[in-house]
Amino acid sequence: MSILVVGSVAYDTVETPLGRAERVLGGSASYFAVAASFFGPVSLVGVVGRDFGEAQLAAFRGRPIDLEGLERMDGKTFHWQGRYSLDLNSRETICTDLNVFEFFQPKIPASYRGSEVVFLGNIDPVLQRRVLEQVERPRVVACDTMNFWIHGKAAELRETLRKVQILLVNDQEARELSGEWNLVKAARAIRALGPRTLVVKKGEHGVLMFGEEGSFAAPALPLDVVVDPTGAGDTFAGGFLGYLASAGQEGDAALRRAVVMGSTMASFSVEAFSLDRLLTLTRPEIDARYREFESLTRFESV
Amino acid sequence: MSILVVGSVAYDTVETPLGRAERVLGGSASYFAVAASFFGPVSLVGVVGRDFGEAQLAAFRGRPIDLEGLERMDGKTFHWQGRYSLDLNSRETICTDLNVFEFFQPKIPASYRGSEVVFLGNIDPVLQRRVLEQVERPRVVACDTMNFWIHGKAAELRETLRKVQILLVNDQEARELSGEWNLVKAARAIRALGPRTLVVKKGEHGVLMFGEEGSFAAPALPLDVVVDPTGAGDTFAGGFLGYLASAGQEGDAALRRAVVMGSTMASFSVEAFSLDRLLTLTRPEIDARYREFESLTRFESV
């Protein structure tokens, strides 16, 4: 079952304690699409400028990623530059050049309109809704957002959330969206807005999922080297929805496996800059790491 | 198998966003002993002043807690006063009156010397070692410490750690003790100092255990009301070691169950001020909540 993803395709310039990467491939749709493509076909919707060439597209080639919806516009590609703190838990944005992304109006190719799983990456909630208006009858709509929209387009975001089954945000975003510090209360408030499943990403502290059949907690894999956390959340979303689409189920058990698969993919993503580690990844490596999560979390009854 | 615990018995005055408790029972040995007493006998070593009366001792009565080692000294009982931040993730100490605790010299009664499991609460590492010199041949020695000793008595702490099998500290303490930001590297460095098992307590983010057979991650139970986090770490330790002593095993599987039992006990402790929730707790409630941790964390293979 094909997944439609709409989001950013970008150049990133990133500094972390372990190094620097200059104008490398980034963007939510890029991380998502490559991660999800390990599980099945992905249809990408985004925009790039004239400076985005075949070398960058190479990351998507040879994978089941349809690029018909990747628009090429006059101008430059979105560029984000940031620097991480020593402990990698916070980052400072040095510059955000939206470039062609500022004028992005998602156009869904006819061949994408039957997509049954849709991931609305972190873009203006008005655009997220326009995407939904162009798809026929998606079975699962998942969505990301950020503080900028939570505060700047609160009413529009709420309207979008009414059409969303799964919301994926980080803990701070969950708190700001709900106005509740406590995550259990935040989840209750957010689920009342529409999404029947809330996935809260806590970075190195793992993931909490709040759903119709209770809560699920998965740790992040303890890693001794983290090179670059950029894109970990979008990679998580790609593994999560990619697995879910391939499983063809949306029950509690499938959602739990999807969380662990998302965590598995994210654990690879942070091992290198940009999509570098994802691009060398193999399915046996993915399966072996999923099993590491099993041994990391297993315990017996008393 | 009896557990010997040495640590503080105190009065706490605590302010949290949900209220205030004035001069209530606190201290590491108090929380530990009551939590561990659900699993088997506990021998307590500590000191209180003349102001510590039968009303306070009532918390320990009617439980398998031996108080022969609770010394009564002329002067006042240790008093700690603190205030928690809105999100409960940080706290400010308003005053610490050590009182009789300043002169504490742990004396181990003859009847305690055969204890097979020893918990060295957070006291001067020199005193921790003196306790070990007075017990015969403990099978398991576990230990807590804090930044004050990590920086103020670094050499003495290292000497104590050589005699410890299990160290329980929070993430910040693990980082400061090892000089490593990354917890995997921190664990490697700390385990080289002596403890073959390191348990890192991360508060609302759960627990990471690093041992001879790999790592184990357990979440904290997502709670919608947290009244007072004071003593959660000592309650964790009491549940952890109490379960371990009762199981009579120290292998990886038993250690994992012990982590979950510690997390179970801590999840109750934070529901009320002081030891109030622990004092009304029943074994069926404990077992039911352990099963909540099972359903919170279970997922299937792919």
Q: What is the pLDDT of residue B54?
A: 87
Q: Which CATH superfamily is domain B3-297 in?
A: Ribokinase (3.40.1190.20)
Confidence of residue A54 (pLDDT cuts 50, 70, 90): confident
Q: What does DSSP say about strands B197-201 and A65-72: parallel, antiparallel, or unpaired?
A: unpaired
Nearest Cα to A209, choosing from A159, A263, A157? A263
Residues of B in contact with A217 (CB under 8 A): 206, 219, 222, 296-297
User: CA A260, CA A257: separation in Å to the nearest integer?
Assistant: 5
Amino acid at the residue B226: V
The residues spanned by each domain of chain A are 3-297
Residue A247 has pLDDT above 80, yes or no: yes
CA angle in degrees (0–180, nearest 5) for B169-A210-A226: 50
* Structure-derived torsion over alpha carbons of residues B263, B266, B268, B274, reported in degrees to the nearest 10: 180
Residues A208, A115: Cα–Cα separation, whole Å: 27
Which is more confidently placed, A55 or A19? A19
Q: Would you place residue A89 in the very low, low, confident or very high pLDDT band (cuts 50, 70, 90)?
A: confident
Q: Please name the residue ranges forming H helices in B52-124.
A: 54-57
Tell me what the pLDDT averaged over chain A comes to.
96
Give the residue on B whose Cα is nearest the Cα of A216. B296
CB pair distance less than 8 Å for A299 and B218: yes
CB atoms within 10 A of CB A221: 20
Minimum-distance CB partner of A299 among B205, B224, B256: B256
Most B CBs within 10 A among A285, A299, A300, A301, hence the mutation to make, goes to: A299
Q: From CA A247, how far away is CA B79, in angstroms rounded?
A: 57
Q: For chain B, what percentages of helix, strand and coil (3-state, to nearest 5) are there?
A: 40, 25, 35
Put simply, the answer to whether B299 touches A243 (Cβ < 8 Å) is no
Pick from B184, B208, B302: CB nearest A261: B302
Long-range contacts of range B23-29, CB-CB < 8 Å, 24 or more positions apart?
B23/B79, B24/B273, B24/B274, B25/B56, B25/B59, B25/B274, B25/B275, B26/B80, B26/B230, B26/B231, B26/B274, B26/B275, B27/B78, B28/B121, B28/B122, B28/B144, B28/B231, B28/B234, B29/B5, B29/B121, B29/B234
What's the Cα-to-Cα distance from B256 to each of A32, B138, B177, B185, rounded to whole Å? 34, 21, 24, 21
Q: Which residues of A sit within 8 Å Cβ distance of B?
A: 86-87, 181-185, 188, 202, 205-206, 208, 210, 214-219, 222-226, 243, 253, 256-257, 259-261, 287, 290-291, 294-302
* Whole-number percent of chain A with pLDDT over 90: 96
pLDDT of the residue at B233: 97
Task: Identify the pLDDT of residue A53.
Answer: 86
Contacts of B224 in chain A (CB under 8 A): 182, 184-185, 188
**CB–CB of A206 and B218 under 8 A?**
no
Q: Do B222 and A253 touch (CB under 8 A)?
A: no
Q: Using CB atoms within 10 Å of the CB of residue A105, give its burial: 0 to 12 exposed, 13 to 18 middle, 19+ buried.
A: exposed
Q: What is the mean pLDDT of residues A81-96?
A: 91
Q: How many angstroms separate the CA of residue A129 from the nearest CA in chain B?
A: 32
pLDDT of residue B55: 86
ipTM over 0.90: yes
Give the residue on B whose Cα is nearest the Cα of A260. B299
Q: Output the tens digit of pLDDT for each of chain B's 302 residues.
A: 789 999 999 999 999 999 999 999 999 999 999 999 999 999 999 999 999 988 889 999 999 999 999 999 999 999 999 999 988 888 999 999 999 999 999 999 999 999 999 999 999 999 999 999 999 999 999 999 999 999 999 999 999 999 999 999 999 999 999 999 999 999 999 999 999 999 999 999 999 999 999 999 999 999 999 999 999 999 999 999 999 999 999 999 999 999 999 999 999 999 999 999 999 999 999 999 999 999 999 999 99
pLDDT tens digit sequence for A3-36:
999 999 999 999 999 999 999 999 999 999 999 9
Q: Verify whether the Cβ–Cβ distance A257 to B182 is below 8 Å.
A: no
Cβ atoms within 10 Å, residue A198: 25
CB of A99 closer than 8 Å to CB of A77: yes
Instruction: Determine contact, residues B233/B123, Cβ cutoff 8 Å.
Output: no
Distance to chain A for B102, nearest Cα, Å: 36
Amino acid at B98: L
Q: What is the pLDDT of residue A287?
A: 98
- Cα separation, A104 vs B232, whole angstroms: 50
Per the CB < 8 Å rule, is B226 touching A182?
yes
| Mean pLDDT of all residues in A245-252 | 94
- Nearest-CA neighbor of A269 among A35, A17, A11? A35
Q: In chain B, which residues touch A (CB < 8 A)? A: 86-87, 181-185, 188, 202, 205-206, 208, 210, 214-219, 222-226, 243, 253, 256-257, 259-261, 287, 290-291, 294-302
Residue whose tokens read 């058990």: A253
pLDDT band, very low/low/confident/very high, at A165 (cuts 50, 70, 90): very high
| Shortest distance, CA B74 to any CA of chain A (angstroms) | 44
Helices A252-269/A283-297 angle, 10° precision: 110
Cβ distance A224 to B256 less than 8 Å, yes or no, reads no
Residues A174-219 have pLDDT tens digits of 999 999 999 999 999 999 999 999 999 999 999 999 999 999 999 9
B298 chain-A contacts, CB cut-off 8 A: 256
Lowest-confidence region among A88-92, A156-160, B111-115, B269-273: A88-92
Q: Which of A142-151, A215-224, B87-96 has the lowest mean pLDDT?
A: B87-96
The pLDDT confidence band at residue A55, using thresholds 50, 70 and 90, is confident
Cα–Cα distance for residue pair B115/B292, rounded to 1 Å: 32
Give the span between the Cα atoms of B270 and B300, in whole angstroms. Answer: 31
The minimum CA-CA distance between A154 and chain B, rounded to whole Å, is 24
pLDDT above 80 (res A1): no
Nearest chain B residue to A209 by CA distance is B296
Give CA B203 to chain center in angstroms: 13
Please answer yes or no on whether A297 and B216 come within 8 Å at the CB atom.
yes
Identify the pLDDT of residue A87: 82
- Whether the CA torsion B175, B180, B182, B184 is positive or negative: it is negative
Q: Which residue of A has its CA nearest to B186?
A: A224
Q: Given this model, what pLDDT does residue A88 score?
A: 86
CB atoms within 10 A of CB B155: 7
